[in-house]
A and B are shown apart, each in its own frame.
Chain A
Amino acid sequence: MNNFHMSGMTDIVFLLLIFFMLTSTLIAPNAVKLLMPSPGRAPVTVESRIPTITIQSNSRITVDGANIQLENLGMVLDGKLAGQAEPTVKVMTAPNVSVEDAVKVMNVAADRNITVVIKLL
């Protein structure tokens, strides 16, 4: 019996391969892009059509001045941005808004492939 038995090793190598394949695809970079307004890039006439979402210090959300619940935000954005080729919203946050609240709003926009530009109130 001087045969080299490879099958056991191959089993282990296969298991390792499956493990590494799964972990490498599961750890995709989960992140939100943070864009800040750059002066002079967009003309004022275009800017005026961009809806502004404001998150106030008491976590109240307004869109162009109207109070809105987070659950309805998606619907409102869909209505305001219907038919635009490059939908963009401006998110203005008060300084003491938590990161969690801001990300919740950005999620709504990002789920709809809307570009978010953030700014401090």
Chain B
Amino acid sequence: MAIQSRNKRSINFAMSGMTDIVFLLLIFFMLTTTLIVPASKNVNLPESNNQTQASPVLVLSIADDKTVFVEDQEYTMRELEAVLERMLEPYGEAPTIRLNADRNLVMEEVFAVLNIAKKNRYRVILGTKPMS
């Protein structure tokens, strides 16, 4: 029986191309996830399901005991304006701050930050966590 098919096809599955793409995607997602800033201080955020498109350049946290943190550094309310001015200078006009205020904090403290923001034309978003 010398009948043979002429067009023999390779039955191997060439995986290398797909693996290349998967690797690229993996690297992309690894880089983007590390760019997301986690809640820097142990602040009990209020719950909300709203999401904003604004991408904050700085995280400002106010804990239950009214201590103020910019990123991970503790400051007093008095120093705050100067600190924000210094840190937000490279970001140009109307940068966005994420304010992580503890849910038990009074609004007076939030407005203290908002007044600074209004004076210097910063945009403020209030950090929340998804409803459980």
With A10-B15, A94-B107, A100-B103 given, is the CB distance from A21 to B29 under 8 Å?
yes
Query: 1/0 contact trace for A1-31 toward B, CB 8 Å?
Result: 0000011011001101100110110011111
Binds B, one of A43-51, A60-68, A81-89, A101-109: A101-109
Q: Is A54 an interface residue (CB 8 A)?
A: no
Give the interface centre of A13, A33, A95 by most chain B CB atoms within 10 Å.
A33
Q: Is A34 an interface residue (CB 8 A)?
A: yes
B15 touches A107 (CB 8 A): no
B128 touches A32 (CB 8 A): yes
CA distance A110 to B125 in the complex (A): 13
Query: 1/0 contact trace for B46-68 toward A, CB 8 Å?
Result: 11111110111000000000000
List of B residues within 8 angstroms of A118 by Cβ: 114
List of B residues within 8 angstroms of A102 by Cβ: 107, 110
Give the interface centre of B23, B50, B52, B55 by most chain A CB atoms within 10 Å.
B50
B22 touches A14 (CB 8 A): yes
Q: Is the interface of B mostly helix, strand, loop or mixed?
A: mixed
- Cβ of A26 to closest chain B Cβ, rounded Å: 9
Closest to A120 in B: B111
Q: Is B32 an interface residue (CB 8 A)?
A: yes
B30 touches A31 (CB 8 A): no
B29 touches A99 (CB 8 A): no
List of A residues within 8 angstroms of B126 by Cβ: 31-34, 99, 103
List of B residues within 8 angstroms of A10 by Cβ: 15, 18-19, 22
Interface residues of A (CB under 8 A from B): 6-7, 9-10, 13-14, 16-17, 20-21, 23-24, 27-34, 36, 38, 93-100, 102-104, 106-107, 110-111, 118, 120
Q: List 19 A-B contacts (CB under 8 A).
A: A10-B15, A13-B19, A13-B23, A24-B32, A29-B54, A30-B49, A30-B127, A31-B51, A31-B128, A32-B50, A36-B114, A95-B111, A99-B46, A99-B126, A103-B47, A103-B126, A104-B46, A111-B50, A120-B107
